[in-house]
Amino acid sequence: MHRLTLTTALAAAIASASTVGHAAPKEGGTLVIGSTSTPRHFNGAIQSGIATAVPSTQIFASPLRYDDQWNPHPYLAKSWEVSKDGLTVTLHLVENAKFHDETPVTSEDVKFSIETIKKNHPFKTMLQPVTSVETPDAHTVVIHFDHPHPAFLLAMSPALMPILPEHVYGQGDIKTNPANLKPVGSGPFEFDTYKQGEYIKLKKFDDFFIKGKPHLDNIVIQIIGDENNLMLSTERGDIDMVPFLSAVRDIERLKKDDNLVVTDAGYDAIGPINWLAFNTRKQPLDKVEVRQAIAYAVDRDFIVKKLLGGFAPEATGPIVPESPFYSGDVDKFAVDIDKANQMLDDAGLKKGSDGSRFSLTVDYIPGDPEQQRNIAEYLRSQLRRVGITVNVRSAPDFPTWAQRISSYDFDMTMDNVYNWGDPIIGVDRTYISSNIRPNVIWSNTQQYSNPKVDELLEKAATETDPEKRAELYKEFQKIVVGDVPIYFLNETPMYTVYKKGLKNAPTSIWGAASPLDDVYWDDGSN
């Protein structure tokens, strides 16, 4: 077997080196995290999304964890091995891990969790190649695949593979298990209290398997539904940290506060992209030249610099630049109104006496005016320049928008979709034709189908050589950008805001969707 192993001794050495020359962390205190999102529950094995991931990654430990350079580190697995043929991964678990009810964590719990995630998690491609899981002893897990799965190590991250206690979650239907709202994990913090729509309180787990951690006594996630009230609470000092902040006006506002640190460090694996999606089966959007003409008519530079204040980098394709598989060798569709008009003329879509060629409706996700509604409104005026009449359609709530898009009741829509670390996990779902699934939001709702793209994604999903994978994804990106099932606008900015007294705020590739066991207050006053 080919070993890809980091021993606990090495991990300890790295941790020791990082603290040389620094005072020991202060113990105790409470961290108050501000959020506008109310989680459905706290079980990240069956629910994706940031609202669940932030508390879930404190409550549940996972086999591995990642730093800010995409490097895996031991967590529940003290070491691991990948077979030369890529068809087997063996995990060697730490022997002192306990769940919050003091039950030991065993290989059977890991097996149960992997099988549960494969069956229930919305990211179907994430564990699809897993064929079986063996548990030769209490601390060894052997995972078998039907083909090499290059994204599996990343899939063992805290946000994607929480390890559940089988004795708690293995009874009945896991989707309705009461423990989803009163979770039991083995992470650094254990569940204390949840008042729906108001706050989540977590407390330090004294028997956490990494000795000396966590440093904080409590974490409170304060839910404040109104964004402006969240900003006011942060400025008053009632909130200690706001992760995943994306509203550019709020970022600008909090940057002026001398008591706060505002940083975009971390989040590289989240990979959020804001885009304009087309229903490729609706006329005239079923013609690639029409979609290309719209791309040439939209001024991405204006959106990024003016509408979004320069805080949102431009997005040029389906994979974000922070990914090792990003390629910028794609058509950028620099704005060209004359070219767009000529392409529409050549497609036989002449202007009528009123100057309009045809009408389209654009939808947007409610609740995000800056990157959704405002850009949709911009499209109305911009596309008029090429003779396209755009009607902006609002939705009263997210479920209404999601139902329209997933049932293909749309022409164009604004959308915001995440890469989730590896293309197998978060990118393939949007473009592979086998994922055209009615009534499933964030599947291939564009109904885009290109056999070459399917072929490239299938090859990349089994290729273990990073350079060869990158070449496959480079070709994939070039084709998809040229076909324009989606016109990519901007990376959604993600910032963490926190008080200057807070140390070791999360900067890993998962940002605050990762354990906060290293976080502490340097002055001990909170």
Cα radius of gyration (the chain): 24
pTM here is 0.84
Q: Return the pLDDT at 23.
A: 65
Structure tokens at 200: 């989540």
For residue 78, count other CB atoms closer than 10 A to its CB: 21
Letter string b/e over residues 214-245, b meaning 16 or more CB atoms within 10 A of that residue's CB: bbbebbbbbbbeebeebbebbeeeebbbbbbb
Q: Return the pLDDT at 226.
A: 85
Q: How far lies 398's CA from each of 395, 428, 436, 501, in Å?
A: 7, 23, 21, 37
φ, ψ dihedrals at 462, nearest 5°: -120, -5
* pLDDT tens for the chain, residues 1 to 526: 333 443 333 344 334 334 444 568 899 999 999 998 888 899 999 988 888 999 999 999 999 999 999 999 999 999 999 999 999 999 999 999 999 999 999 999 999 999 999 998 888 889 999 999 999 999 999 999 999 999 999 999 999 999 999 999 998 899 999 999 999 999 999 999 999 889 999 999 999 999 999 999 999 999 998 889 999 999 999 999 999 998 888 999 999 999 999 999 999 899 999 999 999 999 999 999 999 999 999 999 999 999 998 888 999 999 999 898 999 999 999 999 999 999 999 999 999 999 999 999 999 998 788 999 999 999 999 999 999 999 999 998 888 999 999 999 999 999 999 999 999 999 999 999 998 989 888 899 999 999 999 999 999 999 989 999 999 999 999 999 999 999 999 999 899 999 999 999 999 999 999 999 999 999 654 4
Domains in the chain: ranges and CATH: 2-266+495-521 (3.40.190.10), 272-491 (3.10.105.10)
**What distance in Å separates the CA atoms of residue 178 and residue 168, rounded to the nearest whole number?**
9
* Ramachandran area for residue 408 (φ above 0: left; ψ -120 to 50: alpha; else beta): left
Which residue pairs, CB below 8 angstroms and at least 24 apart, start in 436-439?
A: 438/406, 438/407, 438/408, 439/403, 439/406, 439/407
Q: Are 262 and 499 in contact (CB under 8 A)?
A: no
Residues in a beta bridge with 81: 3, 90
Structure tokens at 218: 């409590």
Which helix (H) or strand (E) segment holds residue 458: the answer is helix 451-460
Q: Which of 117, 223, 225, 209 is nearest to 163 (CA)?
A: 117
